[in-house]
Homo-oligomer: A and B are copies of this chain.
Amino acid sequence: MPRMYAAESALDHRTADPAPSGAPAAAPAETRTEAATRDLRRVPIHPDHWYPLAWSREVKAGQAHGVQFAGDPIVLVRTATGKIFALEDRCAHRQVPLHAGVVDGESIRCCYHGWTYDCSGRCIDVPYLGKERLPNGVRAYPCEERAGLIFVFPGNPALAGQQPLPEFASVADKHYKTRRFGREVKCHYSFMHENLMDMNHQFLHRRQMGMMRARSLGRRRGADFVEVDYTFSREGGKQPMGEALVFSKEGGEGNKDVMTVRTGYPYQTLKIRSGSGTLVMDLWIAYVPLDAAQRTNRTFGMLSIRRPGIPFALDLAWPLLVWFTERIFKEDRWIVEREQEAHDRQGEDWNHEVFPVIRDLRDLLRECGGRTVIPIQRLETQV
């Protein structure tokens, strides 16, 4: 896999760059200029993918629901017959949000002067104009519903058919119980990917998990993915109940559970397989930028846990698992928001990564992301 990637330390004159364990002896150096143009935190997410923009339950029959993708307002409309469509969330007339309008049969009527649009975005009625004089309408987006999520394709609609929607095998499988969760996090999506993939950050969760040591078994890289396998050993503390629901009971050094974390652009998965190869935990997660600066993302997660042999055991333990995962998620959210704050203050990416998996991941996110640069606001020095 001969690939070009930055010796990130070249970006940071403050820190030296000893090659980390397992890193290639001499990574080709990226020039300062090139690096600056590809500050990872200013790479926009690539729009030519399917992104979940809402949970199905958020869009009720006969109602409209306003969402955002990277600063673009989008209205999700569910007609009385249950059909879903997605349009630009603005009336072509005075630009007010269509989501404040009235769902009328298979169309949506703007709340202000009553201009009406069908599922293709065509304007089909202006109450005070003749039908032969109707103005053009607004953009429609490809829109699909799957596994309780509403997916929209915000990029070039001609490419929507080529891009597969994610599969959710465990969600549909009755051997698993699935928790849907999510929240807004005030950071660039890349921090989320790096957080989950670098299992050396168990130290952050020491109060929840005790002292766990992750060991990387190896990594794989393709054109649109990076993945890494881990095993874990306990260095101190007791195994918490929440964790016991997921990891095998053998525990300690003998634990043969293998965790695989994968970014398959633009999604992320985390799977835990027992020594015997059974998939015991299956997490799918997407980070959807909300604002134009892509400094806030909405997380959509599906966490499927394999039911143990004993009936209802998992259901009984479920509240504990919810509590445990919420605590972990809260710590992760806190730390990635601090990372974003530091980037905002520093004005560029001072990250000094030493872990090869994360270097690969950063490279992947740069390569698969949009080709433009997110504009940011800067203080001007005026003299």
| Chain A residues near B (Cβ < 8 Å) | 9, 12, 14-21, 37, 71, 73, 90, 92-97, 100, 109, 111-114, 126-130, 132-139, 198, 200-201, 203-204, 213-214, 292-293, 335, 338-339, 342-343, 345-346, 350-355, 373, 375-383
Is there contact, CB below 8 Å, between A16 and B128? Answer: no
Question: Could you say which residues of chain B place their CB within 8 Å of the CB of A383?
Answer: 37, 373
Residue of B nearest to A133 (CB): B18
Q: How far is the CB of A351 from chain B (nearest CB, A)?
A: 6
A37 to B382, CA, bound (A): 9
Is there contact, CB below 8 Å, between A351 and B94? Answer: yes
The 4 closest A-B pairs by CB, nearest first: A95-B342, A15-B136, A16-B136, A114-B203
Contact of A376 among B112, B377, B382 (CB under 8 A): B382
Question: Could you say which residues of chain B place their CB within 8 Å of the CB of A373?
Answer: 381-383
Query: Known contacts A97-B338, A133-B354; can you find 8 more A-B pairs with CB under 8 A?
Result: A12-B92, A16-B135, A21-B129, A37-B383, A112-B204, A114-B203, A373-B382, A378-B382
A16 to B130, CA, bound (A): 15
A338 to B345, CA, bound (A): 27
Question: Could you say which residues of chain B place their CB within 8 Å of the CB of A355?
Answer: 128
Is there contact, CB below 8 Å, between A135 and B352? Answer: yes
Question: Could you say which residues of chain B place their CB within 8 Å of the CB of A17?
Answer: 135
Q: How far is the CB of A31 from chain B (nearest CB, A)?
A: 15
Contact of A111 among B126, B133, B137, B204 (CB under 8 A): B204
Q: How far is the CB of A314 from chain B (nearest CB, A)?
A: 31
Is there contact, CB below 8 Å, between B112 and A20? Answer: no
Residue of B nearest to A214 (CB): B128
Is there contact, CB below 8 Å, between B378 and A93? Answer: no
A128 to B16, CA, bound (A): 17
Q: How far is the CB of A355 from chain B (nearest CB, A)?
A: 7
Is there contact, CB below 8 Å, between A135 and B15? Answer: yes
Is there contact, CB below 8 Å, between B137 and A15? Answer: yes
Question: Could you say which residues of chain B place their CB within 8 Å of the CB of A128?
Answer: 21, 200, 214, 355
Is there contact, CB below 8 Å, between A94 and B21? Answer: no
Is there contact, CB below 8 Å, between A354 and B95? Answer: no
Contact flag A129-B95 (CB < 8 Å), given A16-B136, A376-B382, A379-B293: no
Is there contact, CB below 8 Å, between B379 and A377? Answer: yes
Is there contact, CB below 8 Å, between A96 and B342? Answer: yes
A359 to B373, CA, bound (A): 38
A113 to B16, CA, bound (A): 18
A-B contact pairs, 11 of them (CB 8 A): A14-B139, A18-B132, A18-B133, A18-B134, A20-B129, A111-B203, A111-B204, A112-B204, A114-B200, A114-B203, A129-B354
